Amino acid sequence: MGQPVDHSTRAAWLATRIAEAARAEGLALGRDADEAHGHAACVALLRWSGCTANAPEFSVLMGDDVGGRDAMLSNGSAAEASALAGTLGDAALIHCEVAGEIARLLGLPAGIERAMHHLFETWDGRGKPAGLRGDAVPAVVFAVALAGDLEIFSRVHGLPAALRHIAERADAKYPQALVALATRHAADWMAALDEGAHEAMGDAAMTSPMTGPEWGGRGDPGRRAARSAPDLNGALAALHTPLELVADVIDLKLPWMTGLSRRVAEAARAAGAALGLDEPAQARLHRAGLLHGIGRASVPNALWTEGRRLGEADRERLRLMPYWTGRAARRLTALQEEAELASFVDERMDGSGAFRGASGAAIPVPARVLAAAAAWVTARTARPGAPALDVDAARAALQVEVSAGRLDAQATAAVCGADPRRATSTAPSPAAPSLAAVTLSARETEVLARIAIGESNKEAAKVLGISPATVRTHLESAFRKLGCNTRAAATLKAMTMGLLPV
């Protein structure tokens, strides 16, 4: 979304304050108002979790899906922002459907999952994706939307201008009563954030998502945020996020990358086993492989467009991808080693890589393995302007990199010759919350696999030797069985359920 790495944690802190104050003042602002207080921070933290899923649509609409969304969110003009939002029907549906699916996969309470499906609804009924109005919208949506705007507008335009911009949206994007409440408290809240209260909240949130209810810690001049409902605390205290889910969401950024992070992780683990690394080292390689693509969220999709000529600024954004991977992953305090390892994925033995320009002994052996694994999987993956290489051609391509001094010879040999089945794991990822068994036919699986990597119905039909109408029939059946309406959500659900080949 083009926002600083602490935007969501700051917005979550503010959303908790808004919902707390609304409850204290007895404001009934929408559906399930009593839930808003307990769910506000979690919804705010996950609000943008669907942003990779609709990046292709935003890229077509705006050219730069990252910078364009940043400009959209920072636009103080209520009229201009509303007009643009009105053009985003498909993108909003994709975002909300994927965000709701993420909430379900995490086993979050039903109220949070429901809110994720209606993130962009508005008080006046002109929002997306369902056009709900007033009390029909989950109340937490208004608290979170207002918190996000307050955080962004105050940072970009200053607090006085932020309050003016928010007032322009009263009884349109969110109810007037909530705007009045926020206006009374905004100065104190923003001062508390700037004094460091968000740091305590961010540490707690990222270490154990939403299990620390005392988010009004150091630097907060007001009372502590009220404790969430016991059932919510209990559910979130046991929350465990499978990194495969993180990887799958990362890979939604570009359809041709579907499953790529999983394949890199498996290739890296198998190569580590072939090199004799112990199981903990193999597991770290696997986790780093799952996380290695987070930094792609910082780069516009258009930079991967076939035939595009890259300028210096474009090349710099690509060069900084592993830097942003490290920055993002290090916020997960249990994955510090994996974050550091993942940030080496584009380094090269001769110093020609990014972002450090490290060379030789400065690149740890596991990092050399991860770099070779990523190169191998990329060579074996079809992408715009570059068909997938077969095994022999991929080996030859990586040997060229070894001969040029860019990839480590031993690591590359291990990657090219390793069998992923040799890798072991003592900590399998937990299964997603129970869901009625879904069985796709062989043809439905084939069709969904083609659509998942971004092919059109016509392109999939040509590859599979069937008509576009038959593709559409099988795709509609698969979507119906999965309970999805969009390619991105169906891809995510099918991947997490093991219904698509990796």
Beta pairing partners, 31: 138
Per-residue confidence (pLDDT) for residue 207, from 0 to 100 = 38
pTM across the whole model: 0.85
* C-alpha pair distances (Å), 200 with each of 148, 192, 207, 429: 19, 11, 11, 29
Distance CA(268)–CA(417), nearest Å, equals 12
Residues 6+ positions from 434 with CB-CB distance below 8 Å? none
- What local confidence, expressed as pLDDT, does residue 290 receive? 96
Determine the Cα–Cα distance for residues 269 and 285; give it in Å rounded to an integer: 6
pLDDT of 96 reads: 95
Instruction: Quickly tell me which residue has 């390793």 as its tokens.
Output: 418
Residue 26, token pair as written in the block: 């007895």
- Please, are residues 464 and 456 in contact by the beta-carbon 8 Å criterion? no
pLDDT of 229: 37
Read off the DSSP letter of residue 197.
I
In tens digits, the chain (502 residues) has pLDDT values of 889 888 999 999 999 999 999 988 888 666 666 677 789 999 999 999 999 999 998 898 888 899 989 988 999 888 888 888 888 878 999 999 999 999 998 989 999 999 999 999 999 999 999 999 999 999 999 999 999 999 999 999 999 999 999 999 999 999 999 999 999 999 999 999 888 654 544 444 443 333 333 333 333 333 333 333 334 444 455 567 789 999 999 999 999 999 999 999 999 999 999 999 999 999 999 999 999 999 999 999 999 876 678 889 999 999 999 999 999 888 888 899 999 999 999 999 999 999 999 999 999 999 999 999 999 999 999 988 889 999 999 999 999 999 999 999 999 999 998 766 554 444 444 444 445 578 899 999 999 999 998 889 999 999 999 999 999 999 999 999 999 999 999 999 998 888 888 7
Q: Output DSSP code: residue 134.
A: G
Rg of the chain in Å (alpha carbons): 23
3-class DSSP assignment, residue 185: helix
Look at residues 108, 415, 466, 123 and name the one whose alpha carbon lies nearest to residue 270: 415
pLDDT of residue 241: 77
Q: DSSP characters for 273-342?
A: HHTT--HHHHHHHHHHHHHTTGGGGGS-GGGGSTTPPP-HHHHHHHHTHHHHHHHHHTTSGGGHHHHHHH
CA–CA distance, 69 with 75 (Å, rounded to integer)? 10
